[in-house]
Amino acid sequence: MEYSQKGSKTYLVTIVMVAVIGGLLFGYDTAVISGAEKGLQAFFLQKGVNFVYTDFAHGITCSSALIGCIIGSALSGLCATRLGRKRSLFLAGVFFFLSALGSYYPEFLFFHYGKPTFGLLIAFNFYRIIGGVGVGLASAICPMYIAEIAPSNIRGTLVSWNQFAIIFGQLVVYMVNFFIMGSHTNPVFEISQGISTIAAGTDMWTVETGWRYMFLSNAVPAGIFAILICFVPETPRYLAMIGKDSKALHILGKINGTAKAEEILAEIKNTVSEKTEKLFTYGVMVIFIGIMLSVFQQAVGINAVLYYAPRIFTDMGMGNPMMQTVIMGVINISFTLVAIFTVEKLGRKPLLIIGSLGMAVGACGVALSFGHNSIVTMVSIMFYSASFMMSWGPICWVLISEIFPNTIRGKAVAIAVAFQWVFNWIVSSTFVPMFNLSVGGNNNFGHVFTYSIYGVICLIAAIFVWKLVPETKGKTLEEMSKLWKK
């Protein structure tokens, strides 16, 4: 076979750009709830509903997609191994598309349009869980796909683009939600004896229609992704695992050039035997570190900010919470770029440690200033979010995609990402009750308590990285086997 001596960067970039649309959908689907959740809550609080829609029920509804994320990520290893990386991503795209349509019109076939019932609530959550399965698959397999395609010297940068796509997807949906809202306003709630009710004068367009359009908008990128993924190749490492060496060599040659392709394939063939290697072949520590990276990425509380940003900014007294959310999205994008352009220079560990300490400072700033100084609180939230985006946001995915040896990567990534979504669900479903906690008439107690906990967890995360996480900068995926054997 004839290839160019250096390979084609254009070919590589094209493949990666298609794959990262999965990351964009990941961000879009998980953040769309931030703009829709108040309208959705008011929809199920309307008169005539045959059940009591509590704050707890709303927390479960807002985080129900995360149940699907847990399922999807847990199945990602099996899908990646049995179906391959490419077909698994196509399946994720189909789930995204079906979820967008179902969340827009959960009454389909079985319920009366616009009549909120307990059965309709179950149906809505079912469609959100389907989307979550797509997110779970994409969250595990997109970085795995990119890591297995990319040359080792730029792997960290390319995998970091997946996180950029996640944050860009969140920014896009913040802007889409903002334009969908237009001149309309979010509903206002009154709380009586612990039960929320719709306040008089609430803009009912948001309650009846607005939240539906927000969920429907996800169908456009989902459809594009499902179509485009059909035109990218399977990863060379997966092809080598299933005995299709000639196809693997062809793709490696197009990316890396003739001589390098043969060298890489030889390394892959020396390390891949996925069907015979057991999960703990390289010891418990590699699995433990992968799991804890995922746990800390969520336990620091970032998704409580991303999912409930408009609610937080409203409680701070901000005039236009949707606009503040868009501003936060722009800052998140900017600091994700910091990680992309420094991950191969500074390494993984320094960025994680610096980011953890920055988040601790931001979380403590929120805890100390909430209800006293809205400007300090705003700056602290932005600093907290920016610190995450330049560290744990992209770098955690880089490490999870590359830290495991070839022979156990599919299974190990699935376990690590499943833990990530479990803790995402725990943080997201507990945030509203914790945030609204009042002690002795002090309505700010919950705000202080919540962010103090997040700040402490950030400090523990910094210590964990410093003591236990190995530096993987510049190492090939095949070298991970040697690293953990030591």
Predicted local confidence at residue 444, as pLDDT:
65
C-alpha span between 418 and 368 (Å, rounded): 33
Higher pLDDT, 441 or 134: 134
* pLDDT tens column, 188-219: 666 665 566 666 667 778 778 888 999 999 99
Predicted local confidence at residue 275, as pLDDT:
47
* pLDDT tens column, 83-129: 888 899 999 999 999 999 999 889 888 888 878 888 888 999 999 99
Predicted local confidence at residue 463, as pLDDT:
93
* pLDDT tens column, 213-267: 999 999 998 999 999 999 988 888 888 877 787 888 888 888 777 777 777 777 6
Highest mean pLDDT among 325-334, 434-443, 459-468, 471-480: 459-468
Higher pLDDT, 162 or 465: 465
Structural Rg of the chain based on CA atoms: 23
Domains in the chain (CATH in brackets) are 9-232+273-485 (1.20.1250.20)
